[in-house]
Chains A and B, each alone.
Chain A
Amino acid sequence: MDFQIAMLLGQDGITNGAIYALLALALVLVFAVTRVIFIPQGEFVSYGALTLVMIQAGAIPATVWLLLGAGLLAAALDVRLALRAGQPGRLVRLLGWYVAYPLALVALLYTLPVKDFPMAAQILFALAVVVPMGPLMYRLIYQPIAAAPVLVLLIVSVAVHVAMVGLGLLFFGAEGSRTPPFSEARFEMGPVMVSGQTIWVVVSSLVLIVALYQFFERTLYGKALRATAINRVGARLMGISPALAGRLTFFLAALIGALSGVLIAPITTIYYDTGFLIGLKGFVAAIVGGLASYPMAAAGALLVGLLEAFSSFWASAHKEVIVFTLIIPVLLWRSLRGRHVEEEE
């Protein structure tokens, strides 16, 4: 291996690592606030990317029907609750978000020539379709079992993942797709060529991470989510309901997932089930952080990205094996350290 190849692989590793870092942050966030191990995180990656592909192909993305269906279901549930609780004032808001919003989206996608819009607008449409599925998923699937043990939540997560992959095959077909890059620019940095898309991925990830940090440190709702993660009972006593925190968390997780998908769609071919593998690597990174530490998770993501890139050069047939084997020493180290802490107490 010469220096140039090493630089190329490093660049690849950092690009992928940036995406894994985003997904790892989302996984840590979801687990800390709701105790859900969010296996379907990766599905938002492929849903985001492939919804963008459909929009660019001039089709009505099938995911919008899923959004409408889930919205109707949630509306049926919540309208009944609102009526029983004697709060008819909430009806308008509920119906607005659950039913009117997806319908408006469908209408816009049918009437506007979205195919000819600039890419930024197409991306916004893709996010507008995919991201609201996050809070809806929380409302329909996790909120009714919010008090269940972690294991039950995990089993449900696996079920949701399988269902979403199946629906993905139905919506997008078995063909893989790519989107055109955000910019065709190429930069020469010494001996290495850096593609514009790589810079987009790394910079967007950094911006998103900083934005998330600001959100958690500065805003009331960010603090409320942290409070829920630290002390659930205390948060409830402040009027921060677990349902609100859960919906907000899933919104962020879906946003991060869909955005990651949109970012990497020009670099790798995305299939309906690609997201799972990407999400799993984010999960490995999150495990490095013990599902609790954000900086450790981000560092783990970078490690996973680089390990993947270099092992694809030396032993490309085994690159997944090498990446996922990383979990074993990490878990060993964590459990040995964990027992030590227990002894101290």
Chain B
Amino acid sequence: MNANIHGSNLILKTVLEVRDLTVSYGKVEALSNANIKVGEGQIVTVIGPNGAGKTTMLSAIMGLLESRGKVDFDGTIEGVPVVERMVARGMNLVPEKRELFGEMTVEDNLVLGAFQRHRSGHRDHAQTMEEVYQLFPRLKERRSQLAGTLSGGERQMLAVGRALMAKPKLLMLDEPSLGLAPLIVREIFRIISELRRRGVSILLVEQNARAALQVADYAYVLETGEIAMEGPARQLADDPRVIEAYLGLGGKHQEMLST
């Protein structure tokens, strides 16, 4: 089962396998027995409405929230993930709130992205930074500016760039398009596809279902803390229930923007 993931014909290695992940806030279960899988080099998306538990799920996988269940990342099972350990093992989260270091320069933010790599003896952050600058030329222009003075799109680019500085095996993106202008959203999704081309596996949480389904290989629909549907992204995009709930009709304009 590990080898042949998501029924595709390609033989893929699993990077992340989450089994029966449950998160409770007090007595309320925000996430119940979620099972998801991400194969190497894949983009997997989790879509769903506000408050469905998407952010909760990412936070729990990363270890920011306490959870029950099993997180099998890169071949090792973590009973209770601890953030710093997950980062050291190659998992990176770009949170919804970006969590940038506002009073520090763009360049310092990026340098800190490589902190864990530097600690474990990889002193190649100058080269990685060049790669990030290639991906986001805008960041290079703003390198000595304080992160707090950037525009929304630039902040998102910096948050993604900072995560890439750690050269992650798995990049988890929480609502990367949130609060951004349509053209910037398009740019962000272009970069997400570009990252896959470079071999980064991505777990993408999105409310912008149309754009997410277009870029992803496989998708899950999360509703009120439970996985309601799953399937290859193309298939889900044609599913009438998904169309009705998340895509709507006649979204030609949006479709154009999200390609």
Picked from B92, B104, B118, B163, the residue with its CB within 8 Å of the CB of A227 is B104
Per-residue contact bits, chain B 79-98, to A (CB 8 Å; 1 contact, 0 not)? 00001100110001101000
* Contact, CB under 8 Å: A227 / B112: yes
Q: How far is the CA of A244 from the CA of B64 in the complex (A)?
A: 17
* Contact, CB under 8 Å: A237 / B115: no
* Contact, CB under 8 Å: A237 / B111: no
For residue B93, which residue of chain A has the nearest CB? A237
Whether B116 sits at the interface, judged by CB under 8 Å, is yes
* Contact, CB under 8 Å: B100 / A231: yes
Stretch at the interface among A113-121, A172-180, A218-226: A218-226
Q: How far is the CA of A197 from the CA of B102 in the complex (A)?
A: 42
Q: How far is the CA of A230 from the CA of B112 in the complex (A)?
A: 13
Please classify how large the interface on chain B is, using the bins under 10, 10 to 19, 20 to 34, 35 or more: 20 to 34
Minimum CB–CB distance from B90 to chain A (whole Å) comes to: 10
* Contact, CB under 8 Å: B115 / A241: no
Please indicate the chain A residues that have their CB under 8 angstroms from the CB of B102 in the complex. Answer: 230-231
**Which residues in chain A, 104-157, are within 8 Å of chain B measured between CB atoms?**
none
Q: How far is the CA of A235 from the CA of B95 in the complex (A)?
A: 12
Q: How far is the CA of A223 from the CA of B108 in the complex (A)?
A: 7
Whether B162 sits at the interface, judged by CB under 8 Å, is yes
A-B contact count (CB 8 A): 65
Q: How far is the CA of A241 from the CA of B101 in the complex (A)?
A: 15
Given known pairs A234-B99, A237-B95, the reply for A223 and B83 (CB within 8 Å) is no
The 4 closest A-B pairs by CB, nearest first: A239-B116, A234-B99, A239-B87, A241-B84
* Contact, CB under 8 Å: A239 / B101: no
Whether A233 sits at the interface, judged by CB under 8 Å, is yes
Please indicate the chain A residues that have their CB under 8 angstroms from the CB of B62 in the complex. Answer: 237
Q: How far is the CA of A306 from the CA of B112 in the complex (A)?
A: 40
**Which residues in chain B, 114-164, are within 8 Å of chain A measured between CB atoms?**
115-116, 118-119, 162-163
* Contact, CB under 8 Å: B104 / A239: no
* Contact, CB under 8 Å: A237 / B119: no
Whether A240 sits at the interface, judged by CB under 8 Å, is yes
Please indicate the chain B residues that have their CB under 8 angstroms from the CB of A224 in the complex. Answer: 112, 115
Please indicate the chain B residues that have their CB under 8 angstroms from the CB of A231 in the complex. Answer: 99-102
8 further contact pairs, Cβ within 8 A, besides A223-B111, A233-B95: A223-B104, A223-B112, A226-B101, A230-B103, A237-B83, A238-B112, A238-B162, A244-B84
* Contact, CB under 8 Å: A240 / B100: no
* Contact, CB under 8 Å: B112 / A240: yes
Please indicate the chain A residues that have their CB under 8 angstroms from the CB of B163 in the complex. Answer: 237
Given known pairs A220-B115, A236-B83, A237-B62, the reply for A226 and B99 (CB within 8 Å) is no
Whether B176 sits at the interface, judged by CB under 8 Å, is no
For residue B102, which residue of chain A has the nearest CB? A230
Please indicate the chain A residues that have their CB under 8 angstroms from the CB of B112 in the complex. Answer: 220, 223-224, 227, 235, 238, 240
Minimum CB–CB distance from B253 to chain A (whole Å) comes to: 35
**Which residues in chain A, 196-245, are within 8 Å of chain B measured between CB atoms?**
220, 223-224, 226-227, 230-231, 233-241, 244
* Contact, CB under 8 Å: B166 / A238: yes
Whether B39 sits at the interface, judged by CB under 8 Å, is no
Whether B113 sits at the interface, judged by CB under 8 Å, is yes
Q: How far is the CA of A244 from the CA of B103 in the complex (A)?
A: 21
* Contact, CB under 8 Å: A238 / B64: no
* Contact, CB under 8 Å: A238 / B118: no
Minimum CB–CB distance from A231 to chain B (whole Å) comes to: 5
Please indicate the chain A residues that have their CB under 8 angstroms from the CB of B99 in the complex. Answer: 231, 233-234, 237
* Contact, CB under 8 Å: B84 / A239: yes
Given known pairs A237-B92, A237-B93, A237-B95, the reply for A226 and B111 (CB within 8 Å) is no
